[in-house]
Chain A
Amino acid sequence: MTGQPAAAPAIEAVGLRRSFGDVVAVDGVDLSVPRGSVLGLLGPDGAGKSTLIRMLATVLRPDAGDARVQGYSVTRQANRVTPRIGYMSQKFALYPDLSVAENIEFFARLRGVAKAERRARSLELLTGMGLADFLGRQAGRLSGGMKQKLFLATTLMHRPDVLLLDEPTTGVDPVSRREFWRILADLNRAGTTVLVATPYMDEAERCTDVIFLDGGRVRHRGTPAEIKALLPGRLFELRAAEPRAALAAVRGLPGVLAAHLYGDIVRVLFDADDVAAVEAALAGEGIDGAVRAAAVDMETAFAVLAELAREEVAR
């Protein structure tokens, strides 16, 4: 596409830093996103995800550091970066009083998409997203899910190589969310690189790589499997008659690395290998309940890693 060797990453950032007044939003972030991957950006509120994405989208200028998107610098060659990216902000940013068709038409024309291509492509995209029947409806009158799909469609009209999405499915119903990710998967299969910030852990599972951001810094990075493997010990689930009491008791046990409640179930990270050892330890404390080994999911990994980080700080 740009004459770059195939191995070059789609996004490469070094030392990105940005503050707002006294608050340091992004504190020295390095990043490397291989072409054709789907990178999930995870982290608590205020971690700096939006700021990071906006810097990569050339919408915000970094205080320090630089990033290369498709080989072009966001600080010095922004006008070469922008034709190659699509950016969805956290807030719905289309014209509420213009219709679906009018919004797409406007942004596509702005991007220089030729007339014939515009028609064909918009039809293709909107039909694929189930919006073909709503061409004339004002964007402000669409449901949450449809708004986000329309937003995505608008950013795809000019066939960008890289998609930067800031929590695109927040507030969207589960069915629409699944559809949205189906579309993303299709795009990815066709070669588009996707960087998506998301608070939904099940979405994180679908990424090829994941980055944990906290306090403006990258805390962990890797494939979902690698992240899960970061967890020390093994995960067990305990079903007890009195979950809260069980949790309190479990926390005091030696060998317990972390424990939290997941609904009625107590999830324990235990520094042991098999169920028997765990049951023995629990019985020794008079805790009665069924113990089962569990697979770590992203939700747990995220919660536990965050908790461990907090304890670290406290120490």
Chain B
Amino acid sequence: MSAATRIGALIVKEFRHLGRDRRTLAVVLALPVLQMILFAYAISFDVTNVSTVVIDQDRTPASAAYLRSYASSDFFRVVGTADGLADVDRIFDRNEARIAVVVPAGFGRSLAAGEQATVAVYLDGSEPTAARVGRGFAVALNQAYGQSVAVEWADAQGLDVTAAGQLEPRVRTWYNPERRSSDFLIPGLMVVIIMVVAVQQTAVSLVREREQGTDEQLAISPLRGWEMMIGKLAPWTLLAFAELAAITAVGVWFFHLPLRGSLGVLALGAALFVFCSLGLGLVISAVAPTLESANMLGLLLSILPAFILSGFAFPLGSIPVALQAFSWLFPARFMVAISRGVFLKGAGVAELWPELLTLAGYAVVVIAVAVVLSARRRR
């Protein structure tokens, strides 16, 4: 007659429930891996091959040469030509291209005369990321082209180009030299997927006991509140951990995600994180009166914060302070830091101990809250 026996009985029961529900099992095991593969391919902030339309109203060798610089750039993907400005409106309207470069008549003549030649570059602002980066590239391309034209001309004139000294930025990227967005996103993606599944599963677990009426029978047994929480959590912790391991394997072998840091730290962080997410689900389960509200609350507290407030895809440094503070309430944020730190920065306990400690504290608090809320509800 001990806590261990009771918890053991509960764990056996939970595993049995899971075993009887084949669909849930399939979803819980297979789906996260499938989703990760899909998303890791799809998610990216890298902007390249932006569809561009070129409009050559000058039709001189000079204008052709100029426009070729766009075609040969990685960033711009020339998808077609058009006749005039009126076409630009239509092209943007129909989403046929995002950038339009217009070379007006007289371009070649201006250059030959040693003057500044005007070109117009239009960007479709409805896709701000592409537009912002596009703007930068367009400016840079034109600067470079202008420079090379100037140098050629000066050479032809026999002038000594006393370029009055220029600063040239040399960019070095640490941790992710190829700047692959996937390296940046996948460690975070794992966190998102686990959180979503974990919270949803436990969110309904207590509500179901209530709806079945078995919660009363549990109440009059010697089972203590915290024993029940642990019993409910344990099987799902195991499963979620298995999922994480599978996803990590896929990330490393399939997507060549580097694993530079301590696997032990990752495992510890993962275990704590899973506990936290499941605990959060239990809190929801304790307060939601019906299955529908449990599901929706689970959605609200799992998907949205995981996606948006965890730093997974959107940097948290620039958002309003109130929201930054809010992000501290969700464990996803810390796990993303741990995940990225271990995979990309080669971090270990020395660097990540604050996050690990926070997760441990969170887990304890959230389970305690679940126990208290659940007890209060019963009577």
A residues apposed to B, CB below 8 Å: 54, 57-61, 79, 82-83, 85, 87, 89, 91-98, 102, 105-107, 109-112, 138, 154
Contact = CB atoms under 8 A, between A and B. Distances in A.
B216 A93 contact: yes
6 contacts: A57-B220, A58-B220, A85-B220, A102-B16, A110-B6, A110-B9
B9 A106 contact: yes
Nearest to A115: B5
Given A89-B213, A97-B20, A107-B217, 18 more contacts: A57-B216, A61-B379, A83-B222, A87-B216, A87-B217, A87-B220, A93-B213, A93-B216, A95-B212, A96-B212, A98-B20, A102-B13, A102-B16, A105-B9, A106-B13, A109-B8, A110-B223, A112-B222
Contacts of A110: 6, 9-10, 218, 221-223
Given A89-B213, A93-B214, A106-B9, A98 B220 contact: no
B94 interface: no
A59 B379 CA distance: 7
Contacts of A93: 212-214, 216-217
A98 B17 contact: yes
B323 interface: no
A102 B214 CA distance: 14
A87 B221 CA distance: 10
Interface in B133-181: none
B252 interface: no
A109 B220 contact: no
B235 to A, nearest CB: 14
Contact of B21 (A58, A97, A109): A97
Contacts of A96: 212
Q: Among B2, B21, B212, which residue has the most Cβ atoms of chain A within 10 A? A: B212
B1 interface: yes
B12 interface: yes
B219 interface: yes
The B contact surface, by secondary structure, is helix
A54 B216 CA distance: 9
Contact of B221 (A60, A82, A95, A105): A82
A106 B214 CA distance: 12
Nearest to A58: B220
A87 B216 CA distance: 9
A249 to B, nearest CB: 50
Given A59-B216, A95-B212, A112 B1 contact: yes
Given A85-B220, A112-B222, A94 B214 contact: yes
Contacts of A98: 13, 16-17, 20
Q: Among B21, B213, B221, which residue has the most Cβ atoms of chain A within 10 A? A: B221
Contact of A91 (B5, B20, B213, B221): B213
Contacts of B378: 59
A94 to B, nearest CB: 7
Contacts of B13: 95, 98, 102, 106
Contacts of A82: 220-222
Contact of B222 (A57, A87, A111): A111
A292 B227 CA distance: 65
Contacts of B16: 97-98, 102
Contacts, number: 73
A79 B21 CA distance: 34
A115 to B, nearest CB: 10
A259 B84 CA distance: 102
Contacts of A60: 379
A233 B217 CA distance: 46
A157 B12 CA distance: 19
**What 7 A-B pairs come out closest when comparing CB atoms?**
A112-B1, A93-B213, A109-B9, A61-B379, A82-B220, A110-B221, A97-B20
Contacts of A85: 220
A97 B17 contact: yes
B10 to A, nearest CB: 8
Nearest to A97: B20
Q: Among B2, B5, B220, B222, which residue has the most Cβ atoms of chain A within 10 A? A: B220
A92 B2 CA distance: 27
B379 A106 contact: no
Interface in B215-257: 216-223
A60 B222 CA distance: 16
A93 B223 CA distance: 17
Interface string B1-35: 11001101110110011001100000000000000
A65 to B, nearest CB: 15
A61 B17 CA distance: 31
Nearest to A94: B214
A85 B20 CA distance: 31
Contacts of B221: 82, 107, 110-111
Given A97-B21, A112-B1, A59 B8 contact: no
Contacts of A106: 9, 12-13
B212 A79 contact: no
A79 B216 contact: no
B81 to A, nearest CB: 66
A94 B20 CA distance: 15
B196 to A, nearest CB: 25
A61 B214 CA distance: 18
A59 B218 CA distance: 10
Given A106-B13, A110-B222, A89 B5 contact: no
A111 B219 CA distance: 11
Contacts of B214: 93-95
B309 to A, nearest CB: 36
B214 to A, nearest CB: 5
A97 B216 CA distance: 18
Contacts of B21: 97
A83 to B, nearest CB: 7
Contacts of A54: 216
Nearest to A59: B216
A95 B130 CA distance: 55
B25 to A, nearest CB: 13
Q: Among B6, B10, B20, which residue has the most Cβ atoms of chain A within 10 A? A: B20
A158 to B, nearest CB: 9
A222 to B, nearest CB: 30
A59 B16 CA distance: 27
A138 B8 CA distance: 21
